[in-house]
Chain A
Amino acid sequence: QKEVEQNSGPLSVPEGAIASLNCTYSDRGSQSFFWYRQYSGKSPELIMFIYSNGDKEDGRFTAQLNKASQYVSLLIRDSQPSDSATYLCAVKSSASKIIFGSGTRLSIRP
């Protein structure tokens, strides 16, 4: 089992709709959780982090964390073509290193 798992996609969402990206992790001792966006040929850039159960909202983005289910998600409201990218889930394990998932490719169709 991979430490951090994501559906590779591609996930295709119409412009203006909500995109939902999911991630599961295996280490129950994981402390903090991150979502990064990576455009093709570029480095990852941080969108949000979350460490408490529940929802955290920042503009059009909402991160959701459920530690009991070992599940993290990212919702993108009012999806824009510029949101088309690969979204990487990252988890800080109990060993303090940060492990990335393989990423989900998101495509926003006009």
Chain B
Amino acid sequence: GAGVSQTPSNKVTEKGKYVELRCDPISGHTALYWYRQSLGQGPEFLIYFQGTGAADDSGLPNDRFFAVRPEGSVSTLKIQRTERGDSAVYLCASSLRPSGRAVSTDTQYFGPGTRLTVL
């Protein structure tokens, strides 16, 4: 079946603009995660959804960042008033479910990422 997809693959914007990044998880996966990865660093946790609700948004750096998952499937990460420091690859991952006795259900499958460049 299809894996996690993310659009756009690349986004170039100007400082101060608003951007939306989209993630389409694997069908049937209830948990969805957003990460940000800068060069030479591991993925930095931003937020995770269980179904439609944000189960943990403690990684969002400030109130310019917001994410939604209104129907429990596709998610959109929204960044207002972009800054040059927001430039990174934004990764989305999904898993079958985030908790439970079967560790395999924690396994995250990553999308190809969106490379955001803020000029």
Contacts and interface: CB of A to CB of B under 8 A. Distances in A.
A46 B94 CA distance: 13
A32 to B, nearest CB: 5
Contacts of B1: none
Interface of B: 33, 35, 40-45, 48, 55-56, 58-59, 91, 98-99, 103-104, 106-113
A77 B91 CA distance: 30
A44 B107 contact: no
Which 6 pairs show the lowest CB-CB distances between chains A and B? A100-B42, A43-B110, A32-B103, A102-B42, A100-B43, A51-B103
B91 A43 contact: yes
Contact residues on A (Cβ < 8 Å of other chain), bracket: 20 to 34
A13 interface: no
A80 B113 CA distance: 27
A88 B42 contact: yes
Contact of A100 (B45, B99, B109): B45
Contact of B42 (A31, A51, A97, A101): A101
B31 to A, nearest CB: 9
A26 to B, nearest CB: 15
Contact of B35 (A32, A51, A100, A101): A100
Given A97-B48, A100-B42, A43 B112 contact: yes
Nearest to B56: A97
Given A43-B111, A97-B58, A49 B42 contact: no
